[in-house]
């Protein structure tokens, strides 16, 4: 069984004791990212941050998991959102949280009922993952979602992207996130070729640039802004380059003339 976490695909398997995730080649390899990234100047970084936050303040997408700071609810949403359109997740998330609002109830939940709830999303193995995660939260963390990255990464099915998303969104911590949307934005803006096509960029290079671009302190609004901007403007197909607020620093626009 496999699911996307951040830029990578993780396959989940049961080893007899717990669910474990095994990373397979990055989604960036299939995206064929450009060969090298530029190092943006500080003024361009400030411009980038400012424009992302301004755009987000006027264009934020509304989802129920963004209206709560309950870490368990945010974690449930992030698991459900893997390889799944957000609009499709909304009714499933609301039904699941309505029935299992905390780790204790989810850990005791009937697996078949959980699978029935998850079924509209496909990848119903996520029901088992959610149940196992809930059990570990009850056993090892007193029924609470941990705040620290290492502890979040110890949860079955949680990789770097989900850990960072939970820390940023639920706990308002400095935690840059990288998924395919974010990777596409930074490579289009700051790659030498100005495109997300024509080669590969190693994951650590993407993370290093994203960390440099992120503002200090809270990254919640900034991260959500990047995710929404990638979904609505800097799309994989047919990006909305005309009138884009980031065109001033975008190599993709400069190279393609979009």
pLDDT tens by residue, 129-163: 999 999 999 999 999 999 999 999 999 999 999 99
Q: Which residue has the higher pLDDT, 113 or 2?
A: 113
Inter-residue contact 34 to 228 (CB < 8 Å): no
Largest Cα span, the chain: 56
For the segment 63-92, what is each residue's pLDDT rounded down to a tens digit?
999 999 899 999 999 999 998 999 999 999
Q: Lowest-confidence range among 18-22, 109-113, 182-186, 206-210?
A: 18-22
In this predicted structure, what is the pLDDT of residue 202? 63
Burial 196-233 (b: 16+ CB within 10 A, else e): beeebbebebbbebbeebbbeeebbbbbbbbbbbbeeb
Distances from the Cα of 31 to the Cα of 18, 252, 256, angstroms:
32, 15, 18
pLDDT in the model for residue 18: 38
Distance CA 84, CA 159 (A): 17
Note the pLDDT tens digit of each residue in 205-255.
888 999 999 999 889 999 999 999 999 999 999 999 998 999 999 988 888
pTM over 0.95: no
Cβ-count burial 57-73 (b if 16+ within 10 Å, e if not): eeeeeeeebeeeeebbb
Same fold, 26-62+174-256 and 64-169: no
| pLDDT value of residue 203 | 76
The mean per-residue pLDDT over the stretch 200-208 comes to: 74
Instruction: Return the pLDDT at 38.
Output: 76
Q: Would you kindly state where each structural domain of the chain is located, as residue ranges? A: 26-62+174-256, 64-169
Would you say residue 188 has pLDDT above 50? yes
Here the tokens at position 93 are 């998330």
Residues 6 or more apart whose Cβ sits within 8 Å of residue 150: none
Highest mean pLDDT: which of 37-51, 106-120, 194-208? 106-120
User: Which CATH fold topology does 26-62+174-256 show?
Assistant: Endonuclease Iii, domain 2 (1.10.1670)
CA–CA separation, 83 and 206 (whole Å): 20
Distance, CA of 240 to CA of 176 (rounded, Å): 24
Torsion of CA 144, 78, 89, 53, to 10 degrees: 110
Tell me what the mean pLDDT of segment 174-192 comes to. 90
The CATH architecture of the domain made up of 64-169 is: Orthogonal Bundle (1.10)
Q: Determine what percent of the chain is predicted with pLDDT higher than 90.
A: 67
CA dist 155 and 153 (Å) reads: 5
């Amino acid at each position: 069984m496999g699911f996307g976490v951040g830029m990578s695909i993780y396959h989940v398997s049961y080893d007899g004791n717990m669910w474990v995730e095994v990373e397979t080649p990055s989604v960036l390899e299939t995206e064929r990212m450009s060969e090298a990234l530029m190092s943006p100047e500080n003024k361009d970084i400030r411009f980038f941050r400012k424009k992302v936050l301004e755009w987000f303040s006027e264009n934020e997408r509304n989802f129920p998991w963004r209206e709560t700071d309950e870490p368990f609810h945010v974690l449930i949403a992030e698991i459900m959102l893997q390889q799944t359109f957000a609009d499709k997740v909304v009714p499933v998330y609301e039904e699941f949280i309505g029935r299992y609002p905390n780790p204790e109830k989810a850990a005791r939940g009937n697996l078949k009922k959980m699978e029935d709830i998850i079924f509209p999303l496909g990848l119903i193995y996520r029901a088992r993952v959610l149940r196992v995660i809930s059990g570990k939260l009850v056993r090892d963390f007193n029924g609470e979602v941990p705040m620290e990255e290492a502890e979040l990464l110890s949860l079955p099915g949680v990789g770097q992207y989900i850990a960072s998303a939970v820390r940023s969104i639920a706990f308002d911590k400095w935690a840059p996130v990288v998924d395919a949307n974010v990777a596409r934005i930074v490579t289009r803006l700051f790659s030498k070729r100005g495109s997300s096509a024509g080669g590969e960029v190693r994951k650590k290079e993407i993370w290093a640039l994203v960390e440099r671009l992120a503002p200090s302190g809270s990254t919640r609004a900034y991260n959500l802004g990047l995710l929404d901007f990638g979904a609505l403007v800097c799309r994989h197909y047919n990006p909305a380059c005309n009138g884009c607020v980031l065109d001033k620093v975008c190599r993709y626009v400069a190279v393609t003339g979009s």
